[in-house]
Structure 1
Amino acid sequence: MAHPKVGNLAPAFTLLDQDGGKVSLKDFKGKQPVVLFFYPKAMTPGCTTQACGIRDIRKELDKRKVAVFGVSPDPVARLPKFIDKHDLNFPLLSDEDHKVAEKYGCWGLKKFMGKEFMGLIRTSFIIGEDGRLLKVMDKFKTKSHHEDLLAELDELGIR
């Protein structure tokens, strides 16, 4: 499945956060840019590295007035544990049925240890204040994702 096209409206969604509250993309339209980073599974090494990198740049994202959300197929009940264990300072959203990941083109065939299966493909999206998709980040290392994200925001003039 292909990612939505840059320049088009980002696919609408409403998901539950770690507290069971509803978060909708439409709530941010006209207010601030949004970063969605889709990660495969809470409390796994790569996902922890990526989430902790975002945690470490949260003040910079706040300064730029950017809302950030981690999205995974984890159930809501697992998300507070991930937040508490790693002192994460941003909301996590549960996409347990992976419908939002499918809309964003980041649910697909994966290969791991000689096996093929359907799963979440690590991808980040920068969405403008107007609700349009500004950038798709699908080729990055988890260790430097946060630095790459800041560089992309700079390039887009979100300072």
Structure 2
Amino acid sequence: MLPNDRTVPLSESDVAPDFSLVGVVGDDRDEYDLSETTDAGNYVVLFFYPADFSPVCTPEMCAIRDADFFEATPNVVAWAISGDSAYAHHVFADAYDLDFPLLSDTDHSVADAFDVKYDEWEGHREMVKRGMFLVDPERRVRYAWRSDDAYVRTDLWPLREALDEAMRDDRVDADVATADLAPDYETDDLERLS
């Protein structure tokens, strides 16, 4: 179980809580570890949702499946997280051809660490709230969105804009670092000639 000793909700620029969860994609069941994935240079998009097969979550997961910018953008992975079991995830993914990992947070510790957990919702104890987070390769939260309304549908456009901005900023930082290390041949040549 992950500790959640926060007095304020997780927000942009915070370090994302590390976690490792069992998940399924297709017929494969595996362990998904946030720090391993970010340490490999990947951005991770986390989609928290209440339940498999629910009337809002099903079209939402299908919209994520159809949002080809995750597959078309290198070094970006998308994971969806709910409190459902890996078995329920397998049936859900199979029924809707979901081609991204569905992770099982059965004890709700990850949802709690990301501040997306209901203590009680419509008679169900400890349900996952709807939320989206973009975590960069340094494990910093670059985008955070959550809703107390389980029936609201996520809007992927602000997430896409945040992803584009994060990748653009990180690429600029990498270019500046590279430029600082590159020798200035023109200046070096002039000094040798004098």
Normalising to structure 2: TM-score of the pair?
A: 0.71
Query: How large is the RMSD of aligned CA atoms in angstroms?
Result: 2.3
Aligned partner of 1:8 in structure 2 is 14
Q: Decide which of 74, 93, 104 is 2:114's aligned counterpart.
A: 104
Distance in 1 (alpha carbons) for counterparts of 2:125 and 2:21: 24
Cα separation, 1, equivalents of 2:57 and 2:93: 12
Provide the C-alpha distance between the structure 1 equivalents of 2:115 and 2:127, rounded to a whole number of angstroms. Answer: 11
Q: How many residues align?
A: 155
Conserved 8 A contact 2:83-2:108: yes
Structure showing greater Rg: 2
Q: In the alignment, which residue of structure 2 is the partner of 1:145?
A: 155
Kept after mapping to 1: 8 A contact 2:108/2:126: no
Match of 1:127 in 2: 135
Q: 1:109, CA displacement in angstroms?
A: 4.0
> What is the match of residue 28 of structure 1?
37
Structure 1-normalised TM-score? Answer: 0.85
CA shift for structure 1 position 138: 1.7
Q: Following the alignment from structure 1 to structure 2, what is the Cα–Cα distance between the partners of residues 6 and 148? A: 13
Structure 2: give runs of 5+ residues left out of the alignment: 1-5, 172-194
In structure 2, the partner of 1:61 is 70
Partners of 1:110 and 1:35 lie apart in 2 by 26
Identity %: 29
1:64-75 matches, within 5 Å, as 64-65=73-74, 66-75=76-85
